[in-house]
Chain A
Amino acid sequence: MNVFRLIGDLSHLLAILILLWKIWKTRSCSGISGKSQFLFALVFTTRYLDLFTNFISPYNTFMKIVYIVCSCVTVYFIYVKFKATYDSNHDTFRVEFLVVPVGGLAFLVNHDFTPLEILWTFSIYLESVAILPQLFMISKTGEAETITSHYLFALGAYRALYIVNWVYRYYFEGFFDLIAIVAGCVQTILYCDFFYLYITKVLQGKKLSLPA
């Protein structure tokens, strides 16, 4: 465990908690893509099935459980508890266009053709594109609440830190996982446009809005 990885994990946790807090505090999930949140819940549940087969560390087990529980609670908030505030008219990204190709790719390109390994690979590929419905929603409405942009920034920072973590691990441990690295880079690239807007607008105290 290196410092980039740790801060990356904490940034990821922060993102998840910011989102839960925003929904709970405002009693509203407006501006949040339920589809992205559903995909993240699917990512965690398919990736962390090794909770039942492999023990790595108390930290690892704890974080996995927290991620799964928080993502499921988020989905519950959006689709059940605060359903009336869910902006489904703007959340129109076709999820099957992500899940089906990603599922196919996981079957074709993986480390090992076993159920757990294919599900892990599926979750890695799916995570890399799971934010697309959220970004699509923002591009459709042309704006995002400031708290939502903080959420996205923390999530993007987590991805960027994981890349630094892989560079570190490659040099100092000789470790690399090509599937995770390629998918992670794709995922980080998707945030670049958002990072630019975040730095030029949100950090200057303005609301994140796109030019019409």
Chain B
Amino acid sequence: DEETQAKDEL
């Protein structure tokens, strides 16, 4: 189950 990851890229 895919977890939405924090977006560290701009």
Say yes or no: A67 contacts B6, CB within 8 Å: no
**How far apart are the CA atoms of A180 and B2 in the complex, in Å?**
16
Majority DSSP secondary structure for residues of A touching B? helix
Binding site for A on B (CB under 8 A): 2, 4-10
A136 CB to closest chain B CB (Å) equals: 26
Residues on the A chain within 8 Å of B10, using CB: 9, 12, 60, 63-64, 67
A50 at interface, CB cutoff 8 A: yes
A-B contact pairs, 11 of them (CB 8 A): A9-B10, A47-B7, A56-B6, A56-B7, A57-B8, A60-B10, A63-B10, A67-B10, A111-B4, A117-B4, A177-B5
Majority DSSP secondary structure for residues of B touching A? loop
Say yes or no: B9 contacts A120, CB within 8 Å: no
**How far apart are the CA atoms of A180 and B5 in the complex, in Å?**
13
B9 CB to closest chain A CB (Å) equals: 7
- Residue from B2, B5, B8 with most neighbouring chain A CB atoms (10 Å): B8
- Residue from B2, B5, B6, B10 with most neighbouring chain A CB atoms (10 Å): B10
A112 at interface, CB cutoff 8 A: yes
**How far apart are the CA atoms of A112 and B9 in the complex, in Å?**
18
